[in-house]
Amino acid sequence: MDCNDIIIGMAGSGGDGVVSAGDILTASAAAEGIYAIMLKSFGPQIRGGESSCRIRLSTKPVLSQGDVIDVLVVFNWPDFARFGAELEVRDGAYVLVEEKDKTEDIPLPNAAKCKITKIPFEKLAVEDAGNPKAKNIVTLGVLGAMFGLPVEGIKREIEKKFKKKGPEVVAANHKAVDVGMEYVKAHGGPAELHFAHSSGKPLMALTGNEATAFGALAAGCRFLASYPITPATEIMEWLSREMPKFGGTVLQAEDEISAINAVNGASFGGVKAMTSTSGPGMSLMMEAIGLAAMAELPVVIVDVQRGGPSTGIPTKTEQADLMQAVYGMHGDAPHAVLAPADVEDCFEVAWRAFDIAERYQMPVIILSDQLVGQRKETVAPFNIDTVKVAVRATPDLSEGVKFKRYEDTPTGISPMTWPGMKGGEYLASGIEHTEDGSPSSMHETHEKMIEKRSRKLDALSGEFKFIRRYGADKPHVGILAWGSSKGAVREAVEKLGANGVSAAALIPELMHPLQKDEIRKFVASCKNLLVIEMSHSGQFEHYLGANGLLPEKTLHYRVSGGRAFSAREIESAVRAAAEGVEYKAKAQEPRRMMGKDEE
Amino acid sequence: MDCNDIIIGMAGSGGDGVVSAGDILTASAAAEGIYAIMLKSFGPQIRGGESSCRIRLSTKPVLSQGDVIDVLVVFNWPDFARFGAELEVRDGAYVLVEEKDKTEDIPLPNAAKCKITKIPFEKLAVEDAGNPKAKNIVTLGVLGAMFGLPVEGIKREIEKKFKKKGPEVVAANHKAVDVGMEYVKAHGGPAELHFAHSSGKPLMALTGNEATAFGALAAGCRFLASYPITPATEIMEWLSREMPKFGGTVLQAEDEISAINAVNGASFGGVKAMTSTSGPGMSLMMEAIGLAAMAELPVVIVDVQRGGPSTGIPTKTEQADLMQAVYGMHGDAPHAVLAPADVEDCFEVAWRAFDIAERYQMPVIILSDQLVGQRKETVAPFNIDTVKVAVRATPDLSEGVKFKRYEDTPTGISPMTWPGMKGGEYLASGIEHTEDGSPSSMHETHEKMIEKRSRKLDALSGEFKFIRRYGADKPHVGILAWGSSKGAVREAVEKLGANGVSAAALIPELMHPLQKDEIRKFVASCKNLLVIEMSHSGQFEHYLGANGLLPEKTLHYRVSGGRAFSAREIESAVRAAAEGVEYKAKAQEPRRMMGKDEE
Amino acid sequence: MADAKASPKDYLSGLKPIWCPGCGDFAVLNAVAKAFAELGLPKEKVAVVSGIGCSSRLPGYLGTYGFNAIHGRALPIAAGLKLSRPDLTVLAVGGDGDIFSIGGNHLPHVSRRNIDLKCIVMDNAIYGLTKGQVSPTTPIGEKTVTTTYGSIEDPIQPLKLLLSYEASFVAQSTSLDLNHLISMIVAMMRHKGFAFLNVRSPCVTYRGKEQYDVIRSRSKYIDKEPGYDATDMRKAWHHAITPEYISLGILYEKYRDTYEDRRDKLREAAKAGRDCTLTDVMKGFMK
Amino acid sequence: MADAKASPKDYLSGLKPIWCPGCGDFAVLNAVAKAFAELGLPKEKVAVVSGIGCSSRLPGYLGTYGFNAIHGRALPIAAGLKLSRPDLTVLAVGGDGDIFSIGGNHLPHVSRRNIDLKCIVMDNAIYGLTKGQVSPTTPIGEKTVTTTYGSIEDPIQPLKLLLSYEASFVAQSTSLDLNHLISMIVAMMRHKGFAFLNVRSPCVTYRGKEQYDVIRSRSKYIDKEPGYDATDMRKAWHHAITPEYISLGILYEKYRDTYEDRRDKLREAAKAGRDCTLTDVMKGFMK
Ligand SMILES: Cc1ncc(C[n+]2csc(CCOP(=O)(O)OP(=O)(O)O)c2C)c(N)n1
Ligand SMILES: Cc1ncc(C[n+]2csc(CCOP(=O)(O)OP(=O)(O)O)c2C)c(N)n1
Ligand code: SF4
Ligand code: SF4
Ligand SMILES: [Mg+2]
Ligand SMILES: [Mg+2]
């Protein structure tokens, strides 16, 4: 059976190299022009713990990580069990297991409906490939031969990857691929399931965090100060490698407070600057983001959301920093919030964040999440020419013209200077101030200046459109969702449409200020409205309510984080909404398989 | 003309002692059983700058600081001008000025309509009382004799105040009072306006911050860690004096992060603990408040709001930390928010905050503000017997019973232990955890535990009622307001009612979780709904919207902070709302009087 | 108070550590349990507080009260706990990132206050949990995931800092010498006042197994020198900053009033000889 | 670059300070303006960054670029500014609460990095702006509004801390001696690397005018001693901790590579001899 969309899952111990095999597979897909999304997952151990990955390959752009797995490779079942619902397999799936595993012990609820195939991975690696560590590479050979994956591409990737270690290493790994392929040929040959593809234009393979970092660099960001935190650290790691090549600076600050304030300082100096963090770091940055709002400094803050509250679940996604991003500062502190919905978006959102920050002189928060930030996708090379490199409005400093740094203008944007500009000297401050920057504690000044600053949001929402709509024009069920939910939502909308269910989705990417008119138009066009989000308390729904955008009857589908949405569950939620009822996710079955839950 | 409600304003330089005169007047009112509210205001200078106070005296409980001033004493007009709208005088007011001041220079817009009285304050102090520093005391004598204020009470307060300095000092100050009184007798005698009062039961005179501190002490708080910040510092100052007497500890921490975390530590130890701060400090505390939510620790945080964002206006009030208090933490972090509406409330809200925190094992934020926190009011002695001293639910630790710290219960409240309890050892953590406290990164655990924690809010809003309603049953205009706005709102509602305008107000004091049913009922009973708040962006209105509580057409009256609401402007807003239109505050007239606005 | 039959195992929770095989933190866990047993501490009277990091997982592996809090805040939490519950034994633990970087501002203040709590840093000169970023104790020139081209920052010298903060007990040990480590923990727990112990605890995953050799070859047991006087600040200083060797042992120990001692006196002064009631206090508002 | 005709007045904004009459901070303001004039700094190339406090009002009184930011964060803001704009002269100023208490964690890190910026603390041993609370440099026993019964905390010793942080320039002066103050500011501005100046600047309102006498009677100009060697850390240490007198002058000054120097080299290493384009970088995603 030919297919052009296949999902492969692998699980094993740290030493089994399943993630590295996944990386090679994804990279070779990219090189062949095949679309892919790869998710990795690790246990709490830094080393030697369990790890897994799931790769969806398709000849068409893939929207989400996909629902159930078509081909599963498991080196170790206890390891597999730790990933619970993340690795659900479909009925009829191929399950490749170690030869020694007993079929009756396989803890899949639908094991009886799967095609269990025993393969002596370990033995092949040790005896035939001559290297116990090459088990994952042997596996790639097996997968390639069984399911028609791009084996030549895999070999090329292996070559690139091991080149530095010398030709012997490359040859040994190539041999491991061959060992796997030959084993398949000798034992039953290719499976019925065949991934039919032909080579296309090469794609890039990168994570959302890398795309964000690259977008910032392209926008002209030349200063990053951050403090390490999962799942945002890759932004700093990538920029610490690339930024110096462009004469920029990456500072690993002593904490997040220092990081955001260094960014405030750099921005005051006229340099485009950014910091990257996750929830706990965001919480620490609130005061200084408010300072940027008050002093009207262009700064960009990336929050790659993870499970919360507090330390929460650092390695998994959630969408529950939304209210903090919008309302987390004390006082009325105007700023913007943008949310990327996939890896490609990360690039655009990053440069647009700088565009907004620099032109409107305010903090812009990029609200990414672990699911977009850390997943790897194949995407077409970015069109760098689309990037607008924003320039701040500067004042007339000629003799005799009085420069007022915080001049009250119709848009609220006051032309600004920075050190080095003669005659543009001014005092930036977090204390309330008059148009010329002098401190003031008068209500009248406050009212006027707070009005001026907030006017920038009106100007922004008037000028800037960043919202996406998918599906039917007058849907039976209209979905409002945001951020990384987009993939599964869009996929569900398309599937439902193909199956005669009229659905549509609106995904705002400018989260604050909201484009209220667009949302109102959408809401008015829907028979039933369904808000979908990964926040137990329903932050997005509350936020829409706060903006007066929800009709009396709004349905919702919300779960807490710790996993990705699947298109399948969204479909179910939409089908329920079509009947006017709310869908509740079933308690996940695989959970019962686990021994101890603690990590 | 007799009156039983009089507003006196005074303005001068730091050395003039107007605030100290106001304090004496307020204290003597309290001793006589007269109701009073006193507001002070200072320029940005620490010393030697301008200062002013306004005291409203009444034989009935006073709800707000009052609108326009009946009697104004000005030692120095440039100083007066800095207070702009804060010291507006009514037509027909008595204005007492230094003899040397030229009537035509008096910069009051309605000067022509005022009764300008020239008095040689300086000269009386220097020549007759023999002490240039006694000008303010002379003034008290003048005011007493002219308007029938309780002169004997004033003398008694002076005695108490100066006792420590010796009988000569007391006598000299008594003489200053006499000098003032005699001057009045000799020059025109008592004014027509006469404050008619008789002595009643003595009242206390205290600020909201003091009442908050006392409420905490009464609730059993035995640990306070704070960092100084205006306008909250008095809470720490008061407790640093009183807490040690009760065997408690007050720690001035190195910063707010340390303060709130020390409080987390004390609470983990089973001790009732609190921190006090204002907006900038709150912003720094967000991470650790989230920790308390996750680790389910009872902690109390007081935020005495000031003008924001950022450093903003430290000495003046605003109601724009509401969204932060409710939504400022990353992730879904259940906690409660209470808002006192006047000085008396501060006491009750403080002990109730501990009651909620301890029983529900979560952070409780007291959202006070500068207007309640720093104003002085006379109130009847607190009934200490009403205070519930909460006790945490503890588990059965008998042999053989497995103690699960985070047991999933119907209310979400899990009996807890603290160090010292044998068999109750457990790991508190900010990382997601199972019922027995072990770390977990499974979605299923997360969903279950986040559900458990949020259930506490349902239990709380079901059990705890703290909301106040004033005015007509089926009002033409219903007001939703909160916190310190209450005074002016209630006064306006009563006045409007007396004038045949049917108005009502609902003031929730449990701000989070909201008592939705009560609010819905109220909203349904109103013809027009008006949301009143001191936040330019309309945080309260957004918050009500987020909770789905606002009808399609809601009117609002919002201003930024930096001043107090007057009942008069609320009246205007209600009258406009009765016509279905929104009221806009007029640009304040006094503003034009000022020279330079910067401070 | 001491429980004669205490065994180290009694102080463990039984949860299996998720540290990498070979991680230095295993030794610290063992040493803590052994020291607690040696001191016979009733386990319900002990609280171990940590921040976030590989090292901060430690309280979860103990059977005492524990608090695995947020990054960098072990010390203020421990301080709040100890100040309100002076009857407890309170130990704060964490990593070099946790305690010297994000939490760095708590050290001088807890030291100068001389709060009677203990602090162990598992110093591996790297951010372990977040997978290998530079830390304030990482040597200059070192390549990490955030210093691709080698670190350009001079590291801090923890012992020197703690001496200048006036910690009343400053010691160093390593995961390589379990007995020494136990003895240092026992000594710090016996000290009255703020006690600080830096443990060179290798991160085999991000700094390599070589760290064991580096530490082994450069260690010197300074307090085994005859006549070593731990109250001599100048000597302590010398051992703290010498580039020649890694000083192991108690560099400095000097008793002085604790915060708790002084607070007791303050309470007496406040009470001025009589018990105070809420009604008394309320009278203050009526002057 | 130097502007020969610069006068101190050119560096003032003309805004009237709101400090109390007699406040020590007036002298610091004057000294800064005079030092800038002496150095002939173009005022558009100077940025003065502060936190919040009486002392932090200073940038508002200068005519250079200024940033009156938030409490405790003058240093990280100044660091971000200097690192991204190495062509500027960047001075951070603040109070003892601002820089030693809430902002205390920025000092060790800015020092060890040796970022080429300057820091002046107006140390009045009290929280002035918030009306008289205890600060980390307030002497033990002192009564303040938050220490009704006298402070029970040992204060920090700023100079000692800065020395242990390896600040490459550590000096002290006072508001009482304008000429000395000017000379210290000039010296610190000429130093390449992180320079720290503690100024004993009396708060007459909350610590009393007596502070002037206390400082006057206890001051000693240590670097006026013949043969004083400011590169001798041990001597510096001695002067920093001696209880006998208040040491005035440059206690320590030693040049070493700045962060900026090292970063320049790092950039060269990263570029590896060729100019990099965005397209080159993007190719990295295609491996
Ligand atoms: C506020 C905050 N910032 C950052 C992090 C991410 N984080 C967790 S542990 C850690 C550092 C770990 O290093 P260290 O403290 O040395 O402990 P180790 O893992 O090396 O034992 C960091 C940066 C966090 N959890 N919270
Ligand atoms: C985050 C935060 N916490 C607290 C404050 C309140 N605050 C303003 S200035 C100050 C301390 C002032 O003392 P210091 O830094 O010594 O300066 P000085 O006024 O004595 O010059 C404090 C606590 C604040 N503005 N922001
Ligand atoms: S990463 Fe390093 S510190 Fe963390 S457990 Fe592994 S070896 Fe230990
Ligand atoms: S309060 Fe003290 S520090 Fe502040 S201006 Fe007055 S004298 Fe100076
Ligand atoms: Mg470490
Ligand atoms: Mg100070």
Sheet strands (E) in B215-325: 223-226, 249-252, 273-277, 299-305
Reported as a single tens digit per residue, the pLDDT across B468-508 is 999 999 999 999 999 999 999 999 999 999 999 999 999 99
* One fold for A206-386 and A467-598: yes
Q: State which of C204, C207, C215 you would mutate to test the pocket of ligand 3, scoring each by most atoms of that ligand within 8 A of its C-beta.
A: C204
**Identity of the residue numbered B16:** D
Bridge partners of C253, per DSSP, are C169
pLDDT above 50: residue B598? no
Q: Is B46–D147 a contact, with Cβ atoms under 8 angstroms apart?
A: no
pLDDT above 80: residue A591? no
**Phi then psi for A428, rounded to 5 degrees?**
-80, 145
- C-alpha A445/C-alpha A435 separation (Å) is 9
Residue A256 Cα, gap to closest chain C Cα (Å): 8
Residues in chain D: 287
Q: What is the average pLDDT value for chain C, to the nearest integer?
A: 96
- For the record, the structure tokens of D54 come out as 């009486």
DSSP 8-state symbol, A428: E
- C-alpha D215/C-alpha D24 separation (Å) is 12
D2 lies in a domain?
no
Mean pLDDT, to the nearest integer, of D182-207? 98
Number of domains making up chain D: 2
Nearest CB partner across the interface for C146, out of A49, A228, A254: A228
pLDDT above 90: residue D241? yes
Q: Are strands B2-3 and B194-195 parallel, antiparallel or unpaired?
A: parallel
Q: Is the CB of D151 under 6 A from ligand 2?
A: no
Q: What are the strands of the beta sheet with C219-221, ordered from one edge?
A: B427-429, C65-68, C46-50, C89-95, C118-123, C195-200, C169-174, C246-253, C219-221
List CB contacts of D144: < 8 A, sequence separation 6 or more: D126, D132, D133, D134, D138, D151, D206
Residues from chain D that touch C76, judged by Cβ atoms under 8 A, are none
- C-alpha B200/C-alpha B380 separation (Å) is 11
Region label for D277, one of left (φ > 0), alpha (ψ between -120 and 50) or beta (otherwise): beta
How many angstroms does the Cα of residue B553 sit away from the middle of ligand 2?
Answer: 44
- C-alpha B339/C-alpha B365 separation (Å) is 8
Residue D270 Cα, gap to closest chain B Cα (Å): 36
- Which residues does ligand 3 sit against, CB inside 6 Å? A 46-47; C 19-20, 23, 25, 54, 124, 128, 203-206
**Phi then psi for B132, rounded to 5 degrees?**
-60, -25
Q: State which of C16, C25, C135 you would mutate to test the pocket of ligand 3, scoring each by most atoms of that ligand within 8 A of its C-beta.
A: C25
pLDDT at A584 (0 to 100): 85
Claim to verify: residue C68 and residue C166 sit in the same structural domain: yes
Claim to verify: residue C202 and residue C286 sit in the same structural domain: no
Give the lowest-confidence range in A77-81, A242-246, A502-506, D19-23: A77-81
Residue A308 Cα, gap to closest chain D Cα (Å): 27
Q: What are the strands of the beta sheet with B299-305, ordered from one edge?
A: B249-252, B223-226, B273-277, B299-305, B363-369, B336-338, B510-512
- For the record, the structure tokens of A288 come out as 């200084």
Domain locations along chain B: 2-202, 206-386, 467-598
Helix (H) or strand (E) holding B175: helix B167-186
Claim to verify: residue D21 and residue D155 sit in the same structural domain: yes
Residues from chain D that touch C262, judged by Cβ atoms under 8 A, are 152
Residues from chain D that touch A292, judged by Cβ atoms under 8 A, are none
* pLDDT level of residue C1 (50, 70, 90 thresholds): very low
Claim to verify: residue C241 and residue C269 sit in the same structural domain: no
Reported as a single tens digit per residue, the pLDDT across C230-239 is 999 999 999 9
Reported as a single tens digit per residue, the pLDDT across A413-433 is 999 999 999 999 999 999 999
CATH number assigned to the domain with residue range A206-386, chosen from the 4 options 3.40.250.10, 3.40.50.970, 3.30.420.10, 1.20.1300.10: 3.40.50.970
Interface mutation target, options A40, A227, A277, chain C, most CBs of C under 10 Å: A227
Its ipTM equals 0.97
Mean pLDDT, to the nearest integer, of D45-68? 98
pLDDT at D240 (0 to 100): 96
Q: Is C79–B420 a contact, with Cβ atoms under 8 angstroms apart?
A: no
Handedness of CA C186, C191, C192, C194 (dihedral sign): negative
Bridge partners of B58, per DSSP, are B5, B35
Residues from chain D that touch A261, judged by Cβ atoms under 8 A, are 69-70, 73, 76-77, 80
pLDDT above 60: residue B593? no
Reported as a single tens digit per residue, the pLDDT across A243-252 is 999 999 999 9
Q: State which of B46, B230, B599 you would mutate to test the pocket of ligand 4, scoring each by most atoms of that ligand within 8 A of its C-beta.
A: B46
- C-alpha B239/C-alpha B245 separation (Å) is 10
Q: Are B419 and C47 in contact (CB under 8 A)?
A: yes
Give the lowest-confidence range in A14-18, A455-459, B381-385, D240-244: A14-18
pLDDT at A27 (0 to 100): 96
Q: Is D104–B254 a contact, with Cβ atoms under 8 angstroms apart?
A: yes
> Which listed ligand is nearest to C130 at the C-alpha?
1
What DSSP letter does each residue of C221-245 carry, written as one string? EGGGSTT--TT-HHHHHHHHH-SSS
pLDDT above 70: residue A175? yes
Claim to verify: residue C27 and residue C154 sit in the same structural domain: yes
Cis amide linkage into residue B513, ω under 30° from 0: yes
Q: Is B330–A280 a contact, with Cβ atoms under 8 angstroms apart?
A: yes
C2 lies in a domain?
no
Mean pLDDT, to the nearest integer, of D181-210? 98
Mean pLDDT, to the nearest integer, of A271-282? 98
Reported as a single tens digit per residue, the pLDDT across B75-134 is 999 999 888 778 999 999 999 999 999 998 899 999 999 999 999 999 999 999 999 999
* pLDDT level of residue A589 (50, 70, 90 thresholds): very low
Return the residue of D nearest to A208 by Cα.
D285
Q: Are C82 and C160 in contact (CB under 8 A)?
A: no
pLDDT above 90: residue D5? no
Mean pLDDT, to the nearest integer, of C211-238? 93
Q: Which of A423, A395, A583, A575 is nearest to A499 (CA)?
A: A575
Q: Are D174 and D180 in contact (CB under 8 A)?
A: yes
Q: Are B477 and B527 in contact (CB under 8 A)?
A: yes
Mean pLDDT, to the nearest integer, of D150-172? 98
Claim to verify: residue D268 and residue D163 sit in the same structural domain: no
pLDDT at A587 (0 to 100): 55
Torsion of CA B136, B142, B146, B151, to 10 degrees: 80
pLDDT above 90: residue B540? yes
Q: Is D131–B43 a contact, with Cβ atoms under 8 angstroms apart?
A: no
Name the residue at shortest CA distance from atom 24 of ligand 1: C71
Claim to verify: residue D272 and residue D197 sit in the same structural domain: no
| Other CB atoms within 10 A of residue B112 CB | 11
pLDDT above 60: residue B592? no
Q: Are B254 and C105 in contact (CB under 8 A)?
A: yes
- Percent of chain A whose pLDDT exceeds 70: 98
pLDDT at B586 (0 to 100): 67
Q: What is the average pLDDT value for chain B, to the nearest integer?
A: 94
* pLDDT level of residue B1 (50, 70, 90 thresholds): confident
- C-alpha A114/C-alpha A118 separation (Å) is 12
Q: How many CB pairs under 8 A join C and D?
A: 76
Claim to verify: residue C65 and residue C50 sit in the same structural domain: yes
C3 lies in a domain?
no
How many angstroms does the Cα of residue C157 sit away from the middle of ligand 2?
Answer: 30
| CATH code of the domain made up of B2-202 | 3.40.920.10
Mean pLDDT, to the nearest integer, of B225-229? 98
Torsion of CA A330, A331, A336, A341, to 10 degrees: 40
Q: Is the CB of D144 under 6 A from ligand 2?
A: no
* pLDDT level of residue C113 (50, 70, 90 thresholds): very high
Residue D238 Cα, gap to closest chain C Cα (Å): 10
Claim to verify: residue D271 and residue D231 sit in the same structural domain: no
pLDDT at B388 (0 to 100): 95
Reported as a single tens digit per residue, the pLDDT across C129-176 is 999 999 999 999 999 999 999 999 999 999 999 999 999 999 999 999
- C-alpha A51/C-alpha D179 separation (Å) is 67
List CB contacts of A307: < 8 A, sequence separation 6 or more: A313, A314, A316, A317, A318, A320, A560, A561, A562, B331, B432, B441, B446
Residue C185 Cα, gap to closest chain A Cα (Å): 27
- C-alpha A171/C-alpha A163 separation (Å) is 10
Reported as a single tens digit per residue, the pLDDT across A55-105 is 999 999 999 999 999 999 999 999 998 887 789 999 999 999 999 999 988
The larger pLDDT score, comparing residue C2 to residue A456, is at A456
CA distances to B448, C9, C174 from C35, in Å: 38, 11, 15
Handedness of CA A262, A267, A271, A272 (dihedral sign): positive
pLDDT at A48 (0 to 100): 80
- C-alpha B226/C-alpha B233 separation (Å) is 8
pLDDT at A593 (0 to 100): 34
Q: Are strands D246-253 and B194-195 parallel, antiparallel or unpaired?
A: unpaired
C126 lies in a domain?
yes
Claim to verify: residue D250 and residue D273 sit in the same structural domain: no
The pTM of this model reads 0.97
* pLDDT level of residue A466 (50, 70, 90 thresholds): very high
- For the record, the structure tokens of A361 come out as 């002189």
Reported as a single tens digit per residue, the pLDDT across C250-268 is 999 999 999 999 999 999 9
Claim to verify: residue D151 and residue D269 sit in the same structural domain: no
Distance of CA D113 to the CA centre of its chain: 16
**Rg (alpha carbons) of chain D, rounded to whole number:** 20
D238 lies in a domain?
yes
Indicate which atom in ligand 3 lies nearest the CA of residue C207.
2
Helix (H, G, I), strand (E, B) or coil at A531: strand
**Phi then psi for D215, rounded to 5 degrees?**
-65, -45
Reported as a single tens digit per residue, the pLDDT across A380-404 is 999 999 999 999 999 999 988 899 9
**Chains touching chain D at 3 or more Cβ pairs under 8 angstroms?**
A, B, C
Return the residue of D nearest to B314 by Cα.
D130
- C-alpha C130/C-alpha D78 separation (Å) is 28
Residues from chain C that touch B267, judged by Cβ atoms under 8 A, are 80
Return the residue of C nearest to A237 by Cα.
C146
pLDDT at B594 (0 to 100): 33
Indicate which atom in ligand 3 lies nearest the CA of residue C122.
3
CATH number at residue D41: 3.40.50.970
Reported as a single tens digit per residue, the pLDDT across C176-200 is 999 999 999 999 999 999 999 999 9
Largest interatomic CA distance in chain B: 89
* pLDDT level of residue B443 (50, 70, 90 thresholds): very high
- D271: containing domain: 258-287
CA distances to A123, A127, A134, A173, A179 from A131, in Å: 10, 8, 5, 9, 11
Mean pLDDT, to the nearest integer, of A98-117? 93
Helix (H) or strand (E) holding B210: helix B208-219
Residues from chain D that touch C259, judged by Cβ atoms under 8 A, are 152-153
**Chains touching chain A at 3 or more Cβ pairs under 8 angstroms?**
B, C, D
CA distances to A97, A346, A357, B431, C150 from A214, in Å: 40, 9, 17, 31, 22
Mean pLDDT, to the nearest integer, of D49-61? 98
Q: Which of A78, A70, A80 is nearest to A41 (CA)?
A: A80
Helix (H), strand (E) counts: chain C: 10, 8
Claim to verify: residue C266 and residue C248 sit in the same structural domain: no
How many angstroms does the Cα of residue D146 sit away from the middle of ligand 6?
Answer: 14
- Which residues does ligand 1 sit against, CB inside 6 Å? A 227-229, 256, 280-281, 284, 311; C 52-55, 71, 94-98, 122, 124, 126-130, 135, 203
Q: Are D22 and D204 in contact (CB under 8 A)?
A: yes
Cis amide linkage into residue A513, ω under 30° from 0: yes
Residues from chain C that touch A312, judged by Cβ atoms under 8 A, are none
Indicate which atom in ligand 4 lies nearest the CA of residue D95.
3
Q: What is the average pLDDT value for chain A, to the nearest integer?
A: 94
C212 lies in a domain?
yes
* pLDDT level of residue B587 (50, 70, 90 thresholds): low
Which CATH architecture fits B467-598?
Answer: 3-Layer(aba) Sandwich (3.40)
